[in-house]
Amino acid sequence: MRFTRRALLAAAAFPHASAAAKDYAPATPAPGAIRYKWNHGSICAATNRDPRIQVIAYNEDTIILRENIAVHWEAPFTYLLAGADRALLIDTGATPEEKYYPLRPVVDGLLRRLGSLRGKPTLPLTIVHTSAEDVAQNQGVTQFKNRPETTILTAPQGSIDLGGRLITVVPTPGTHKDGVTFYDRYAGHLFTGDLLFPGRILISNEADYLASLARLEAFATAHPTRWLLGGHIEMSAVPGVQYSTRTNFKPNEHVLQLEPETIGEALLHARRIQGKATYSIRSEFILFNRVGPDERGDWPADLPTPPVTINLR
C-alpha cells in the first residue's frame, strides 16, 4: 500500500543502528519528527479518497497510524513501537471490519519491514489498549484474533520489554475506570489515550482523574519526556475552538503532540472545577465534569475571542 511504503521510506531517512546494539534507554529522547499534516477528511465522507489509514514514521522504530476521518469521525491514533525482539501496538482504532479499516494488513507490512532491519522475517507483536472500555480505541483488535506470534494484554501492568526498549505502564483512571498511560523511555513519549489530548476530555470520576494527573505529572518530572501523544484530535488550531462531534471534515486541526507542561495545566483547571457541574475551555483541550460534551456557555475571559464560532459552542 502506497501510504505504508511512504512511511517506511521516511523511516529509512533516520540513522539506523543495529537494533541489537541500539541504546533504547538514552539519557535524552531519541530524535524523531511528525513531518506531515494529517489528512483532514471531507465534507462528504462518501467522496473521500484518502488512504483508510495514514501512516507516519516518527523515527525508524516508532510508527504513528491514524484512522481516516471519513471511516470514523473520531479518527483515533494507533502507535507501533519496535524494540530489538518484538513490537508493541498501542490501541487498535474504532472500526472492526478490515475492508473499511485495514489495520492488520498495514501492521503486518510494517512488521515485515521492521523485522527485515533486524534480520528476521517479521517481529512478534504485543497489543495493548489505553482503555478496554473505550470503543473508539479497541475495535480493531478483532482483526488480530488467532494471528500467529501475537499476544493481547487485557490488563497490562509494570513494564513491557520489547528487547531493550522498555514500555512502562502507568495507571491513569479518571476518564475510564481501566485507563492506563504508556511511557516509552526511548522516544520520551507518554501515550495518554483519552486522559489528556487536544480535544473534549470527559471526566467520569473526578477523584481518580485528579490523582491520575498528579501521578502523571510526577512521573513526567522524573523521566525524560518529550511529548504527550493522545488518542484523538478534536481541537482546531485556533485556541479553545473544538470541532463538532461527528464531523468528518477538520481542515485546520490542532497538532497531535502536547508539551509535558500540559499535565500541570490540566491538573490546575481540573481542581478548579472539582465538585461542580461545569466545563473548562483551555487553548488545547476542554475538560467536562458532570456535564456532557454538548454543554455550551460563556467563552473564558483569559482566551482570545475566536475569529469564527462555526463548529463551536
Residue linked to cell 525482539: 85
Dig out the grid coordinates for 14 from the structure: 533516520
DSSP letters, 270-298, are: HHHTTTSSEEEE-SS-EEEESS-TT---P
Q: pLDDT tens digit string along 247-261?
A: 999 999 999 999 999
Nine-digit cell at 30? 531519541
pLDDT at 206: 98
Question: Domains in the chain, ordered, with CATH?
Answer: 2-289 (3.60.15.10)
Element spanning 208, H or E: helix 206-222
Sign, CA dihedral 7-39-193-97, equals: negative
- Three-class SS state of 109: helix
Question: Of the given ranges (7-21, 121-135, 139-153), which has the lowest mean pLDDT?
Answer: 7-21
Give the pairing type, strands 159-161 and 278-281. Answer: unpaired
Does the structure show a pLDDT above 90 at 8? no
Residue 13 has pLDDT above 70, yes or no: no
Q: What gap in Å lies between CA 7 and CA 36, rounded to an integer?
A: 11
Confidence of residue 36 (pLDDT cuts 50, 70, 90): confident
Strands (E), 12-95: 53-59, 62-67, 77-82, 87-90
Residues 202-225 have pLDDT tens digits of 999 999 999 999 999 999 999 999
Rounded distance, CA 54 to CA 111, Å? 16
Q: Tens digit of pLDDT for each residue in 85-139? A: 999 999 999 999 999 999 999 999 999 999 999 999 999 999 999 999 999 999 9
How far is residue 95's CA from residue 176's CA, in Å, rounded to a whole number?
A: 20
- Burial letters for 39-49: b for 16+ Cβ neighbours within 10 Å, e otherwise? bebbeebeebe
Give the per-residue pLDDT at 311: 46
Sequence-ordered strand ranges (E) for the chain: 53-59, 62-67, 77-82, 87-90, 125-128, 150-152, 159-161, 166-171, 180-184, 189-193, 200-203, 227-230, 257-258, 278-281, 286-289
Which of helix, strand or coil describes residue 221? helix
The mean predicted confidence, pLDDT, of the chain is 92
Determine the pLDDT at residue 310: 43
Say how many C-beta atoms besides its own lie within 10 A of residue 129's C-beta: 26
* Contact criterion met (CB below 8 Å) for 210 and 118: no
Hey, how many other C-beta atoms are within 10 angstroms of the C-beta on 85?
Answer: 16
Tens digits of per-residue pLDDT, 276-305?
Answer: 999 999 999 999 999 999 888 889 999 998
Q: How far apart are CA 136 and CA 2, in angstroms?
A: 25
pLDDT in tens, 183-203: 999 999 999 999 999 999 999
Instruction: Give residue for cell 501512516.
Output: 55
Residue 95 has a pLDDT of: 97
Mean pLDDT of 148-172: 97
Dist CA 298 CA 291 (whole Å): 15
